[in-house]
Structure 1
């Protein structure tokens, strides 16, 4: 099994990456070609790998330890994949809304993963729902790893201690596991998830992952349930030695439902960073449990039926993205567009949810911005 990935990247660049380890190398086109044709590690390559990752990084046998990905002709390097919308929690703030256990059978899922490989996806985030409870999680993760993808997982951490999951993640290490943290006490955590015992499962999973030295990051979710526990949540992360970011702005559901919004901690509502555009639909895309590709998790329509249309269907995503990101409705003539922190697809969801403007708009209660 490989422990290094050599891959084309954007703008003619080429990268060398190590699953489960930080850092990387940039290569010229000529060095990439040399590695693609080599049967033994060139001296310059062995020296660079040893300098960055240490002498324990094995390069022999070369063709087994170093996976060289081909040039694809596409610019897609990142993707997210929702294995299933189902979850073992029922969090009040969850943007998925109705969490149905539906998804593709293995033959379609396998085909979809090969398409992701063939369009050049190097970084793949597995998400849900809760991806680790999906009945095909082990197979999905294993095949994507074998294809030379740098895998990250977005999880609640509740299954990280289970032997099959832990064995897989320690033998084929992910790039990163981002764990959502819903509180610092059993009362707040279980109150938000609406699942008694979820805080204990979270602690058990994180303890196992830390002991296995998996690459973890926390997303501290601040809601009405945990608003008074932010400092405690930070200390919890520090105690495990896990870096963290804080997430405070609650969003409507993916279909514009407002049922998530009451969980917003008003005192923690934060002004978003200025939205200056993104690469959604151009170098990045999202795939839902049914193999439907969209520009991102928020802008889900229009879309491409990836399994049926194949890689060629993705050619439409760039145009779809450019259309969805244009300011529409009351935002068209807004004088504050240059400092707005909310992208248009997210604005549309807030509007469908009839959300208070304070949740997403600098104009607050001005009627012209709330126009349909």
Structure 2
């Protein structure tokens, strides 16, 4: 599709914020951040991925687009679709014959919506003997159309839509092992609404992915939810969301200490997991949230090991998202889990260091999805 020929910037739209990053390759072949911006979105404008107040959303995004000192310079955008509204599944079918037909026959067993109501894309990511491992992504047509309308109203031209998990996985995987399946086909998921309407499959992978990269669980700790993304065999095996979020933790702190939301947010950053600060009240709330997250992580790992016959042992848990900025979160989780835990680096595929007055590297984790979206056009296939 023509989408592969257009250089776009990445735009991550969530319930409470929007973030953009534009990345370019310079004459030395270095990938650098050209510009970036962010804005807060008031509660109620977007709820669980559903755009409730489009005019207000348009005004907020338009103002953000005008904000960067170095303008984006292109109307072409690769945008995220809300995880709560999308589906990603790995299924196995016979490798011989019409794989597409088999995928369409099998998909109703895995997704609770009629195929006619969905925009779908798929690719063969690996073959085992006579069986094909197929990664399938789907989103309700109404959701794709709604986000297309939003971006068009902002004067933008959507080149591609991606499931958040795809962008996250791309951002934190070093380019040498960046999942080719996420670049060769699934990254073009919903590449253009007319193409998507025909339910055409993505092109096959350019080359076979390396077999040595271990299985890992990505944990995106967001403001309104935490997403779990299992990556194995260089492709996303499944995603799930758990009702644990930074906003929920802040509200609990506010209730316990009788603070406003903003005051509680500051207390969370200042006191964190230190039991000696804020009389231990903040650390108690945060530790409880991490305990619950550890349980969900263990459940996800166990589910993968018991329900995916091709699944390999999970070698590590990688934390991303703004919530991963919580000091010592990885240490606290590692003490409760059976696998190592580390903080992901969404800038791993970008040239560093950055100018002090440029991209705020301390906020990089909260830009993980936007970074992955922006890298779509500059990482090698």
Global fold match (TM > 0.5): no
Higher CA-based Rg: 1
The structure with higher relative contact order (CA 8 Å, sep 6+) is: 2
TM norm structure 1: 0.29
